[in-house]
Amino acid sequence: MEADLDRILFHETTILRRLGELAAQISNDYRDLELTVIAVLNGSLIFMADLLRRIPLPLKLDCLSVASYHGKTETSGEVIFKQVALPDVMDRHILILDDILDSGHTLAAIRDKLETAKPRSIRICVLLSKKKRRARHVDADYIGFEIEDEFVVGYGLDFMEQYRNLPYIGVLRKELIGEPAGYR
Ligand code: IMP
Ligand code: MG
């Protein structure tokens, strides 16, 4: 899999060190609050597992599964929720976890949907945030790393469901994406 990468962006040790900082910040911010973490599957699985084990607070965990991609690297704009019922979050403080903030479509749709379940508050935590103009405005409250507008894989992030199990994050070679540079 490493041969498919143009370069490695974040090694595992770098990621885990940053997660320690994020976890400390989150633990401090939520120390007296009823926290429910909502992880967005599948991309946030590995990030969630490593982050939550560094947060020594009582919390509840739920997962949401959405689809917004049709196989390639571009978001369709349309976000499909794969489950019928939303988690019971009434009066709870929600922290949404996702792998990456790109166009903003996915997190904006999830935030809007969860708001209908009447939580006390909603915050967003992403491992990666791309520096770009977003199609929809989303403020992430906690960001692991800011990156350029390149397609990355590993540590949960996929390209056509591959590479999620790479323990680090790297930029996928452009030839493999099958689109010219500046594909978006
Ligand atoms: P958005 O709706 O465009 O913000 O995209 C969010 C979703 O697209 C993420 O949860 C990822 O699943 C996927 N995505 C966006 N950029 C990348 C990338 O560079 N690598 C892998 N997946 C990505
Ligand atoms: Mg994906």
Tell me which residue has its CA closest to atom 19 in ligand 1: 151
Band of pLDDT at residue 183, cut at 50, 70 and 90: very low
Determine the distance separating the centroid of ligand 2 and the alpha carbon of 27, expressed in angstroms: 28
For residue 177, which ligand has an atom nearest its CA?
1
pLDDT of residue 121: 98
pLDDT of residue 184: 41
Determine the distance separating the centroid of ligand 1 and the alpha carbon of 154, expressed in angstroms: 12
Band of pLDDT at residue 147, cut at 50, 70 and 90: very high
Strand partners, 29: none
Q: Is the Cβ atom of 97 under 6 angstroms away from ligand 1?
A: no
**Residue 77 pLDDT more than 50?**
yes
